[in-house]
Structure formats: C-alpha cells, structure tokens
Amino acid sequence: MKSISKVLIILGMITLVGFTIMSNESAKPMLPVIKTEKITVTNDENSSNSSIVSYINKGTMLASWYGSKFHGKQTANGEVYNQMAFTAASKSLRFGTLLKVTNPKNDRSVIVRVNDRGPYVHGRQLDLSKAAALSLGMAKRGVIRVKVAQLSLKGINFPVINLN
C-alpha cells in the first residue's frame, strides 16, 4: 500500500511540474512541424488518391509582428491576446481563418489563426504574433514580405468553428 501511495505522489508531482512548465509564458514557443508532402486518403482500391488538406494561394503580403505591448489585452474577436500563441491579425480575413505563412528567405513556415484586426500601418497586410515571428526568423527584422496560403479541408475553407 505504501508503494502505491509513493507512486501516486510521484505521478502527482510530475503532473504539477509539467503544468508549471507548460504555463510558463516566457518560454520559447515550440516550433510547429510543417510537412510539405500531401496527406492523402483512398476510399477504396479503385479510387485515386485525393488530398485532404489543400492550400489556397493568397499571394505575398507585407507582414509585421506585435508582442508584449498587447499581451493580455483583448483581441477584436474577444480572445485575450497571447504573444506566444500562433495567431495573426488581418483587416479582411475572417476570424478563425487558418493561414500557412512562409518566410521565402529561409523557407520556414507556420500555421496561424486569424483572431484580431490589423495591422494599422499603411502597406502592411498581416500582423503576426511574437511566437510566429520568432519561428519564421523575422523577429529582429520586424517587417518582411511573406508567402500566404489559406488552409482548406476537402474543399471547405476554414474556419470550421467560429470562436465569436
């Protein structure tokens, strides 16, 4: 009985430490893994492969990023802004839209979700979170031209759910 209690206490401590580490906002963001190969599904042996995920090319956009000044404040869709989440602000795209943003200089890509309005600087079309900027390698430069593609699933454009 004592050994079971010890195991439960150790598991509880490990869980607590895990939650503490996960909630540390000053930690660097985990870089998302973007696979370039298509995901395919086959209905039966007679059908041809069809792509589950596709991308709608939105062209290139001038992107900047925003961070600590807005961290913890409310976004345009009502969420609290978290600079370490993979989000973006756009003046025209619907809230919940998922975008693949690629830095053409180093070929790094991230998937972000539109949850805010902006940017409000003339000529810029996209404002990325600090986490997205760090992952793309654009944080020091501040403003870069990026390739943007909207994610689509089986021909249905995201957002699948509306967070409003």
Are 108 and 79 within 8 A, CB to CB?
no
Mean pLDDT of the chain: 78
Buried b (16+ CB within 10 A) or exposed e, 133-154: bbbbebeeeeebebbbbbbbee
Which CATH fold topology does 40-157 show?
A: Barwin-like endoglucanases (2.40.40)
Q: What per-residue confidence (pLDDT) applies to 68? A: 87
Burial label, 125 (beta-carbon count in 10 A; 0-12, 13-18, 19+): buried
Q: What per-residue confidence (pLDDT) applies to 47? A: 46
Are 41 and 104 within 8 A, CB to CB?
no
Give dist(CA 94, CA 56) in Å, integer: 15
Instruction: Give residue-wise pLDDT tens across range 96-108.
Output: 999 999 999 999 9
Q: What per-residue confidence (pLDDT) applies to 25? A: 44
Looking at per-residue confidence, does 121 or 48 come out higher?
A: 121
pTM assigned to the model: 0.66
Q: Quick one: average pLDDT of 3-10?
A: 55
Q: Which tokens go with 125? A: 């079309």
Give dist(CA 104, CA 60) in Å, integer: 10
Q: What per-residue confidence (pLDDT) applies to 147? A: 98
Instruction: Give residue-wise pLDDT tens across range 53-74.
Output: 889 999 999 999 998 899 999 9
Is a pLDDT exceeding 80 seen at residue 30? Answer: no
Of all residues in the chain, what percent carry a pLDDT higher than 70? 62
Domain range summary for the chain, segments of one domain joined by +: 40-157
Query: Which is it for strands 53-66 and 126-129: parallel, antiparallel or unpaired?
Result: parallel
SS3 call for 144: strand
